[in-house]
């Protein structure tokens, strides 16, 4: 049983294959958090909580003269508001009487088979053969009648626990929600824990930072209207000594694409609290009597096997339970070439056909027509929002162009940026009020564009109709869905002044509705997400897209760090990675090896390549297809850290049955007369024998993992190596 309620101890224990999570209906019915870590079965962990007078700590009035119970020192499952707990709270609500208070205690619970659902937000799903139990615990405030429903689902085999929260206004007056966290996770002793996050910037997304917990509130989040280039809605709390292959690691991944906040606070008693949810900046959400607000889902995982163990849990789960697209597991994804770096917006149907014919010689399966095909779009000053084909560029018509590309034996893809509008567009001229602009103030432009008010139903309907019309009238196989700016001028002309604090969240809800109506109704189209590169790379986006563009930065040496950081939570199969002209000193083969740590494709002008280069590309394309099952379905290992000084970066893909492996190495820092380098493999069977790149000689898995493979020294800078290890039968 994944969820056990012990009536004697009033505990709920959530058990996965290798972990346990426990909470208790404690003193005065406050919900206390007891444990998260390696499996404990149904043991009562309440003995850990020691209650004594800590001096000048607030005590609930109902405790009368007992000064030993203070919420300021108790590990809570959902931290209260204005109840004597001065640490970061899980909720901030303004009640109908104007008071700022929530005193939620346990009033009900229920357990059932299967996965809970949210009506307004994307969630992970249970597959037919998954063992999943769900739990709802209700916390009620007796004065305001506000209720908080805490939702949990336990995926036993996957070692995953999901959480979400619903707020119900059970009173008779409107309330205003100003903060709502989906997760509150308290540790009794966090003084020797570290916080790992994935900060970055445009072109350098998801770099890795690790910091010791100190007696401060460590804040990670985004207020840019999206999960952003600068931060990612994923954090790890880990033991100070945790490393790739050992140590306790706790991951929290938030399924939300808008403003988010994660706060980690080490308190005066060395207790550590992590909360994560919607960022409270400019967030004020009104709930009328009986209305419900849903917070986004969080996906939690625990591993005692270090960062690699934690990554494997997330990779496996997100490959199987996050996106229902057939391209995740059933259909092999094509090798594509994108027109952007080949032609930018200066192309026509003839130019696209020339690129396609040349790309066919490179082993490419799919041509993508990027920005510039619609309205009067010759630069980034116009036409966003006018999703009609530019007949001066696509003279033969889109359907005929697609047919000509298909006749070459290639598939066709197209680019959209649905959420944006240009001031020089027919859409803006007809519906200026659909753009995000504060009345009386000039708008903030970014990339010469404004954002559409996605909170408006009529905007959503327009996008659904106009984009579907394009997709339904030509044989489109692939869509690149882009957004190229952060949000500013947060205002909706469709909402009254006292509800402008709802716009950020309503924007995201509107976006999800549009994606539901376009993406999920076109199951035969491969969708890829993009946000100025990797600026909105989060699990909610990956619920819709099986792959996401890692970064606009295609330099293969920079990509080593980008792929490394992204891999801490997101599977390689989700990483959009291409070969481009970026990094002119880097050999084409090295670019291909790096791009194989992802979806593989090209961002260059195929017509400018020599026949020799085209042939080399074809060989690399064929090699990617050969290794596709291993790369997309195998276990991924980070063999070296590109953020640390070293002479090379290495990574490895290992088949689930250990029958084969692909080990990749890029030499990044040659030194004169340097030492002999060895790369130690991981994940192999110690007693099995493996051949390397088809050689007759075989080496034991133990030797390859403990002694390693010698790497050639006298090679040009940025040389790459691939070692295909195959287990010998018997």
pLDDT in tens, 195-207: 999 999 999 999 9
Q: Is the pLDDT of residue 614 over 80?
A: yes
pLDDT in tens, 476-503: 999 999 999 999 999 999 999 999 999 9
Q: Which CATH architecture has domain 336-629?
A: Alpha-Beta Barrel (3.20)
687 assigned to active site:
no
pLDDT in tens, 507-546: 999 999 999 999 999 999 999 999 999 999 999 999 999 9
Selecting among 502, 538, 552, 605, the annotated active-site residue is: 538
**Ranges assigned E (strand) in 39-145:** 91-94, 105-113, 132-140
Q: Is the pLDDT of residue 60 over 90?
A: no
7 assigned to active site:
no
Q: How far is CA 492 from CA 76, 282, 434, 624, 713, in A?
A: 37, 13, 8, 47, 61
Topology of domain 3-321, CATH: Beta-galactosidase; Chain A, domain 5 (2.70.98)
Q: Which CATH architecture has domain 648-727?
A: Sandwich (2.60)
**Ranges assigned E (strand) in 518-630:** 526-529, 547-549, 575-576, 579-580, 601-603
pLDDT band with cut points at 50, 70 and 90 for residue 379: very high
pLDDT in tens, 63-82: 777 888 888 889 999 999 88
- Reading the block at residue 346, the tokens are 């200066």
Across 352-375, average pLDDT = 98
Q: Can you give the length of the chain in residues?
A: 730
Residue whose token pair is 């391209």: 327
Selecting among 489, 613, 619, 677, the annotated active-site residue is: 613
Interior angle at CA 376, CA 373 and CA 382, nearest 5: 105
* Element containing residue 566 per DSSP (H, E): helix 556-566
Domains 3-321 and 648-727 share a fold: no
Across 358-363, average pLDDT = 98
Domain segments of the chain as ranges: 3-321, 336-629, 648-727
109 vs 150: CA distance, rounded Å: 9
Q: Cα(first)–Cα(last) distance of the chain, in Å?
A: 39
Contact between residue 455 and residue 507 where contact means Cβ atoms under 8 Å apart: yes
In this prediction, residue 10 carries a pLDDT of: 97
In this prediction, residue 40 carries a pLDDT of: 94
pTM (2 d.p.): 0.98
554 vs 342: CA distance, rounded Å: 14
pLDDT in tens, 451-465: 999 999 999 999 999
368 vs 155: CA distance, rounded Å: 38
548 vs 623: CA distance, rounded Å: 22
Sheet containing 526-529: order of strands: 575-576, 547-549, 526-529, 478-481, 411-416, 366-369, 336-338, 601-603, 579-580
pLDDT in tens, 122-170: 999 999 999 999 999 999 999 999 999 999 999 999 999 999 999 999 9
In this prediction, residue 730 carries a pLDDT of: 57
């Amino acid at each position: 049983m994944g969820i056990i309620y012990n009536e004697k101890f009033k505990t709920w224990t959530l058990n996965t294959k290798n972990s346990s999570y426990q909470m208790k209906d404690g003193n005065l019915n406050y919900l206390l958090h007891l444990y998260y870590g390696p499996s404990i079965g149904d043991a009562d962990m309440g003995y850990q909580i020691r209650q004594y007078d800590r001096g000048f700590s607030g005590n609930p009035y109902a405790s009368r003269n007992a000064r030993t119970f203070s919420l300021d020192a108790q590990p809570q499952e959902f931290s209260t508001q204005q109840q004597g707990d001065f640490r970061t709270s899980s909720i901030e609500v303004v009640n109908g009487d104007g008071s700022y208070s929530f005193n939620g205690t346990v009033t009900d619970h229920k357990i059932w088979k299967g996965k809970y659902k949210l009506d307004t937000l994307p969630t992970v799903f249970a597959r037919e053969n998954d063992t999943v139990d769900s739990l709802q615990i209700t916390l009620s405030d007796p004065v305001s009648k506000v209720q908080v429903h805490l939702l949990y689902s336990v995926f036993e085999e996957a070692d995953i626990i999901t959480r979400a929260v619903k707020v119900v206004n059970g009173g008779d007056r409107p309330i205003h929600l100003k903060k709502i966290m989906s997760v509150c996770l308290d540790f009794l002793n966090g003084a020797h824990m570290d916080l790992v996050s994935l900060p970055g910037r445009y072109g350098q997304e998801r770099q890795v930072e690790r910091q010791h917990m100190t007696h401060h509130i460590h804040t990670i989040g985004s207020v840019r209207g999206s999960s952003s280039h600068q931060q990612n809605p994923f954090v790890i709390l880990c033991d100070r000594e945790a490393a790739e292959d050992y140590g306790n690691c706790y991951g929290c991944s938030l399924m939300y694409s808008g403003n988010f906040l994660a706060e980690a606070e080490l308190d005066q008693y060395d207790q550590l609290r992590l909360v994560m949810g919607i960022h409270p900046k400019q967030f004020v959400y009104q709930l009328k009597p009986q209305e419900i607000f849903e917070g986004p889902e969080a996906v939690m995982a625990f591993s005692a096997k270090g960062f690699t163990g934690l990554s494997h849990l997330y990779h496996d789960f997100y490959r199987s339970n996050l996106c229902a697209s057939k391209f995740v597991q059933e259909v092999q994804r094509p090798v594509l070439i994108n027109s952007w770096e080949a032609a930018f917006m200066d192309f026509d149907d003839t130019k696209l056909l020339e690129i396609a014919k040349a790309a066919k010689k490179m082993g490419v399966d799919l041509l993508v027509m990027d920005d510039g095909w619609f309205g009067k779009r010759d630069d980034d000053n116009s036409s966003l929002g006018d999703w009609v084909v530019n007949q001066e560029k696509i003279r033969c018509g889109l359907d005929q162009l697609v047919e000509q590309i298909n006749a070459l034996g290639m598939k066709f893809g197209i680019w959209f940026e649905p959420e944006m509008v240009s001031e020089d567009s027919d859409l803006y001229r007809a519906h200026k009020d659909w753009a995000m602009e504060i009345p009386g103030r000039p708008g903030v432009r970014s990339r010469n564009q404004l954002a559409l008010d996605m909170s408006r139903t009529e905007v959503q309907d327009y996008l659904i109709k106009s984009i579907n019309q394009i997709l339904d009238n030509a044989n489109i196989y692939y869509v690149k869905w882009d957004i190229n700016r952060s949000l500013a001028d947060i205002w909706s002309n469709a909402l009254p002044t006292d509800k402008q604090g709802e716009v950020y969240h309503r924007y995201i809800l509107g976006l999800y509705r549009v994606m539901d109506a376009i993406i999920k109704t076109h199951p035969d189209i491969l969708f890829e997400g993009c946000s100025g590169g990797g600026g909105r790379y989060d699990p909610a986006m990956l619920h819709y897209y099986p792959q996401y563009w890692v970064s606009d930065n295609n330099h293969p040496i920079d990509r080593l760090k980008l792929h490394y950081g992204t891999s801490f939570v997101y599977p390689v199969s989700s990483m959009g990675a291409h070969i481009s002209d970026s990094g002119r000193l880097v050999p084409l083969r090295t670019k291909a090896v790096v791009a194989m740590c992802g979806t593989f494709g090209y961002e260059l002008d195929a017509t400018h390549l020599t026949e020799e280069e085209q042939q080399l590309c074809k060989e690399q394309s064929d090699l990617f297809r050969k290794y596709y099952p291993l790369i997309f379905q195998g276990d991924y290992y980070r063999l070296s850290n590109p953020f640390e000084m070293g002479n090379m970066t290495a990574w490895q893909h290992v088949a689930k049955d250990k029958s084969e492996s692909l080990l990749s190495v890029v030499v990044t820092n040659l030194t004169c007369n340097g030492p002999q380098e060895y790369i130690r493999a991981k994940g192999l069977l110690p007693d099995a024998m493996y051949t390397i790149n088809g050689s007759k000689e075989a080496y034991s898995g133990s030797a390859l993992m403990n002694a390693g493979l010698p790497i050639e020294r006298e090679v040009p800078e940025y040389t790459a190596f691939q070692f295909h290890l195959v287990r010998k039968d018997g």
